Structures are given as C-alpha cells and as structure tokens.
Amino acid sequence: MSHLNKIHRVTIIGAGIIGLTTACTLLKEYSTNDNLQLTIISETFTPDTTADISAGLWEIYGIENIDEQTLRRAGYTYDIFLSEYFSTKAARAGIMKISAYILHGYNNQNSDEIDHTTLVKPAQAELVRHFRWLDKHEINIFDHLKPTSGFVMSTITVEVKKYLLELQRFLSQNNRVKIIKKKIHSFNELKNTADVIINCSGIASKYLADDETVRPARGQIIRVHAPWIKSVYVFDTDDGMGYIIPQADSVVLGGTFQLNDWNTNIDENDTQKILRTCIKCLPALEDIHKGKVQVGLRPYRDNGVRLEHEKTNDGIDIVHCYGHSGSGVTLSWGCAKDVVEIVKTLIPANSKQKNHEKNNISEHELLWRLVPNPEHILLTSKI
C-alpha cells in the first residue's frame, strides 16, 4: 500500500473534556486526510465523566508549579472559550463570560490603605481580558468575611455536561470517527488496532500507565438553583476555602480538595460544611433547602500534567495527556493542541490545507461546529 493510501488509525482513551477536545483538534489538523480513522474509547461518556461534575471555571487550580507551558495552554483555552461566548455556540454549549471575585484572608480588619505593590499577582492575571486589585472600598463590601485582599477578573464558566454533549454530537457526525463504550485495562489491547494511542484517561492512568504519581483529589459540590447570583466568588473562612460559581442552569457551591481519598460516595459532613462556608459569603443561600450533591475524583499528579510521547518496549506509540487535577477545563484546548503537534510527528498531516477557508473562519469554528438540534429544527418549522 502506498504512503498516500495508508490508513492511519488513532485511538483516544477517555471521553472527558481532555479526550473530546483532543479529538476535535485532531480532526481539524487532519481535515483533508480521508485516511484518518479515529476511535474514541471510554468507560464513561457525558453526563457520567468527572468533567461533568466540575464547576467548569476557567482558573488554574490544583497545580502547584505553574510554568510558562501551563500558562500558554491556559491562555489558548481562554481565548477559545471567550470567542465561543461571542458566537452562536454560547447557549447550547453552556458558556458564560463572568466576573470572578477572588478574596484572600478572613476575620482581619483591613488597614486604611491596601498596598498593592506588595501583593503577588496570580499567574493567570496576564491571560485574562480584565484584571485589577480590589481597593479598600470594594474590600469593605465583603466586611462580613473581612478578607485582607482580593482581585476581580473576567473569566469563563462552562456547563461541562452541555459542552461535552455538543462536542460528542459534532464528532459522531464525522464518518471517520468511531465511538466505543468500553474499559481499557492495558494498552496492549489496542496494539493491533491502533497506530497511535492518545491516553486521556485521567485518574485511570494511575493503573493504565502505571503512574504512581497520579492520585485522586476528591471533590464534592452542591448544585443549587440560585438565579440571583451573577458572579463567581472564591473566598477564605475559618471553615476553610469556599467557592460559589454560577453556570448556565445552576450555581455550584464548593467544595473539597481531598488528596488520596477514593471515596465517591456523598459525605454528609462535607455537604454541611460546604453549605456553612458558602452561607458565610452569601447569607441568602441559607434559604436553599435542596440541591444536587455530586462527588468526583480529580486526576491530581505530583509533577503536574504529563504530556509526552512514549514508545513502549512492545513498539506502541502512545501520547500521554493526563494529570490535569482541577484544571482540566482550563487547560483543555491548549493541551489538545500540543498533543496533536506530537501526533503530527508520528502521522504526517495532509499538506493540502484549505488556507483560504482558514482565513475566513475563526479558530473555534475550525475546531468544532454546532450540529443542528432536531428539537430546534422542529420548533423553527412550527413558527
């Protein structure tokens, strides 16, 4: 078989935010290559992935060493989400542009003046479209918490279960894509059916990739109906850190970050602590008497994200992309881009790119597009 006619088989393990953004990016870069065969294999799909449970806030969270590579990936992802917010995708994909108030310290009287020159800017400050420190009068708005400092920035929240559903719809329309629900126990299972394996298996990489540095960071949250809340709040209290994050259809109250805890059952003590903490920030939440409590295991990795190519002793080409901790949404598109750049060194991309089309289409539209919703078509036909 000639090089031009060779079928290139790529298998992605995992269908969370990392797996599906990688799949979309792969199709973009191989858009004119009809010989690409992409298989997505996962034990779970939306709405049952870890990402579906997440608060979907764009913020680098749960990663200790934030290097230039992490910032570049986060910045690219931010730009994609922001452009999607100003597109027809926003409502169906659950994307919101929102202000986030990040407060530090508690139960301390503020000095007459806050010396911003002594405060350390967060790493992501240079990536967002708007960032500024809160002045004394703004800090005093939160006098019931008595924070010592804080800032506000423009960020994005993503209702991940909506977002993944739209990505999955887009991928399933492509005749080069096959989607399989199955648990993979060993890379050797795919040795004879894939030329390149992309490992986006999250917490499962602890066993699949035999990586002892992967650990669960248990997260428990409560989804409530609180439509009056229009901003993100992240804050400290004497009960620990709390966060309140609006999404398209709910508000997420959190949360926990419990390393080495594999418990996926709801802990009533955690539930009460989350409520108690969030009520300290916004007392009106005391009137909320029901909500959906969810638990997920973030894929924390001691050395941060692993994104690299591995050639196994059995001759299997694997590109690993896991260990995103609480930053899966934040790093998703950026990591996907880097993964596909590695794949292009293993499988040549078709050189006949449609540059004239690229010049007229925004980056996010090249990555994926909305698939017509049958319900929307029916509604339109009745009007």
Global pTM reads 0.93
pLDDT of 296: 97
Residue 106 domain flag: yes
Question: DSSP readout, 8-23?
Answer: EEEEEE--SHHHHHHH
Whether residue 57 is predicted with pLDDT greater than 60 in this model: the reply is: yes
Mean pLDDT of 256-282: 97
Tell me the pLDDT band of 255, cut-offs 50, 70 and 90.
Answer: confident
Residue 182 in domain: yes
Helix, strand counts (H, E) of the chain: 12, 15
Confirm whether 2 is domain-assigned: no
pLDDT at 360: 78
What is the share, in percent, of the chain residues with pLDDT greater than 90? Answer: 85
pLDDT at 289: 82
pLDDT score for 381: 37
Q: What angle do CA 318, 32, 331 make, to 5 degrees?
A: 45
pLDDT at 353 over 80: no
243 is in an annotated binding site: yes
Tokens 């040549």 sit on residue: 348
Reported as a single tens digit per residue, the pLDDT across 362-379 is: 999 999 999 987 654 433
Q: Is 60 exceeded by the pLDDT of residue 273?
A: yes
Q: How confident is the model at residue 23 (pLDDT cuts 50, 70, 90)?
A: very high
**3 state SS of 261:** coil
Please tell me whether 56 is known to bind a ligand.
Answer: yes
Q: How many domains does the chain have?
A: 1
Residue 383, pLDDT > 70, answer: no
Type of residue at 219: G
Q: Does 55 appear as a known binding residue?
A: yes
CB 103, CB 380: distance < 8 Å? no
171 pLDDT higher than 80: yes
Instruction: Specify whether the CB–CB gap between 134 and 105 falls below 8 A.
Output: no
Compute CA distances 75 → 222, 262, 364, whole Å: 28, 31, 14
Domain at 337, CATH number: 3.40.50.720
Q: What are the pLDDT digits (tens) for 78-137?
A: 999 999 999 999 999 999 999 999 999 998 744 445 556 567 889 899 999 999 999 999
Mean pLDDT along residues 230-235: 98
Look at 348 and 359; give whichever has higher pLDDT: 348
Checking if the pLDDT of 5 tops 90, the result is no
Is 1 a domain residue? no
324 pLDDT above the threshold of 50: yes
Angle at 61 between CA 55 and CA 62, to 5 degrees: 110
Is the CB of residue 226 less than 8 Å from the CB of residue 288? yes
Whether 175 is in a domain gets the answer yes
Residues 163-172 have a mean pLDDT of: 97
d(CA 50, CA 163): 13
**Residue type at 32?**
T
Residue that the structure tokens 């804050």 belong to: 235
Question: What is the number of other CB atoms lying within 10 angstroms of the CB of residue 362?
Answer: 13
**Residue 326, annotated ligand binder?**
yes
Residue 352 inside a domain? The answer is no
CA 60 to chain centroid, in Å, comes to 10
Tell me if 251 sits within 8 A of 229, measured CB to CB.
Answer: yes
**Host domain of residue 160:** 8-346
> Does 375 map to a domain?
no
pLDDT at 197 over 80: yes
HSE-up (13 A, CA, CB side) for residue 151 = 17
Identity (one letter) of the amino acid at 364? H
CA distances (Å), 17 to each of 160, 287, 354, in order?
8, 33, 27
Does residue 321 sit within a domain?
yes
Pairing of strands 306-311, 177-181: unpaired
- How far, in whole angstroms, is CA 343 from its chain's centroid? 21
Q: Are residues 283 and 237 in contact, defined by beta-carbon separation less than 8 angstroms?
A: no
Q: Which two tokens stand for residue 267?
A: 């802990």
**Nearest CA to 40 among 210, 216, 170, 162?**
170
| Three-state secondary-structure class, residue 276 | helix
